[in-house]
Amino acid sequence: MILGIETSCDETSASVIDGERLQSLVILSQDAHTVFGGVVPEIAARAHLTSIVPVVQRALDDAHVALGDVDAIAVTHAPGLIGALLVGLSYAKGLAAALKKPLVAVHHMEGHLFAASLEHPDAVPPFTALLVSGGHTLLIDVEAWGQYRLLGATRDDAAGEAFDKVAKMLGLPYPGGRHIEQLAATGDPSRIQFTRPMLKPDQHYYDVSFSGLKTAVRLALADYAPADLARGFQDAVIDTLVEKTARAVRAYRRERVVLGGGVACNRALVAAMRERLDATVFAPSPRLATDNAAMIARAGAFRLTRGETAGPEINAYATLPLPGLEKEA
């Protein structure tokens, strides 16, 4: 039985899993950042300080277990906002020491790889993974758990960051992804069609770039309705992500595709993946697509079976390569 703790950005989350079965999940999102149009690291860290104890207790209560019943504690230690990470990591260290339980340090993006498997038993390797969030856009070939081949990544803005910035241009609230999706549903797809970035075969075959697309939206603001701009932008992002994923599926002959990260909540993206790819596409539900402790507990359970535990010297890191990650030859 694993207690998971996640505080990498602006969600304070705790979860209990038993084996691979989800017993409880509590996610407390911080609304204070909306007025700033983005996450303020200092505010995020302070909010985690006041939330971490009641959130963990609620997760234990919902799972009907006591703290002493937990076999190990898994916690995110990278990547993320340093101040936010340190709150969860320090608390997990204290719990592990007091309870004399193993501590497992988990890479946040590896957690996203495991998220879909908590709801879909067939979302297991080998598969092609597309992780799309506010901070990352990664295309990975997963040969087996713990064996990852990096195929492509963003050259500038992550997909989620591009959604947030375009939403701000259009006067929509933060975070912008769901608001862009709602507005795009009312837009005319034929009104404006933005160039799909980096889709030429000889142009960074798996990598993506959204800075130019973001600039194109800004230049078109005065000439098109917000709904049409939102639709044109979203269609361009989706077409790019689907094509890049399709290339990986064909190259490595994968029959499964796993999506992860907050942008995987976008129903239009998931629908396009399922319609256009010659593979079974697994996407987690919104509560497991966004930052959550259940995926951290699940990844922690895997690392624990390999005997990978952390000592009190373990630190938090703003950036850190995914463990077991190799670049494509």
Give residue limits of the domains in the chain: 2-112+291-327, 122-283
231-256 tens-digit pLDDT = 999 999 999 999 999 999 999 999 99
163-182 tens-digit pLDDT = 999 999 999 998 899 999 99
The third-level CATH classification (topology) of the domain covering 122-283 is Nucleotidyltransferase; domain 5 (3.30.420)
Count of other CB atoms within 10 angstroms of residue 234: 24
Whether 220 and 229 have beta carbons less than 8 Å apart is answered as yes
Count of other CB atoms within 10 angstroms of residue 221: 11
CB contact set of 196 (below 8 Å; sequence gap of 6+): 236, 239, 240, 243
138-156 tens-digit pLDDT = 999 999 999 999 999 999 9
Is the Cα torsion angle 317, 322, 325, 327 positive or negative in sign? negative
The CATH number of 2-112+291-327 is which of 3.30.420.40, 3.90.180.10, 3.30.70.940, 3.90.199.10? 3.30.420.40
pTM over 0.85: yes
What are residue 292's phi and psi, to 5 degrees? -155, 160
45-102 tens-digit pLDDT = 999 999 999 999 999 999 999 999 999 999 999 999 999 999 999 999 999 999 999 9
Tokens 């850190």 appear where? 320
212-234 tens-digit pLDDT = 999 999 999 999 999 999 999 99
**Average pLDDT value for residue range 268-282:** 97
Fold: same for 2-112+291-327 and 122-283:
yes
CB contact set of 201 (below 8 Å; sequence gap of 6+): none
- Higher pLDDT, residue 76 or 205: 76
Longest dimension (CA), the chain: 63
Burial 103-133 (b: 16+ CB within 10 A, else e): bbbbbbbbbbbbbbbbebeebbbebbbbbbb
Confidence (pLDDT) at 19: 87
In this structure, what token pair is assigned to residue 83? 């101040």
| Residue 52 to residue 28: CA distance in whole angstroms | 9
Beta bridge partners of 6: 13
304-324 tens-digit pLDDT = 999 999 999 999 999 999 998
Residue 329 pLDDT > 60: no
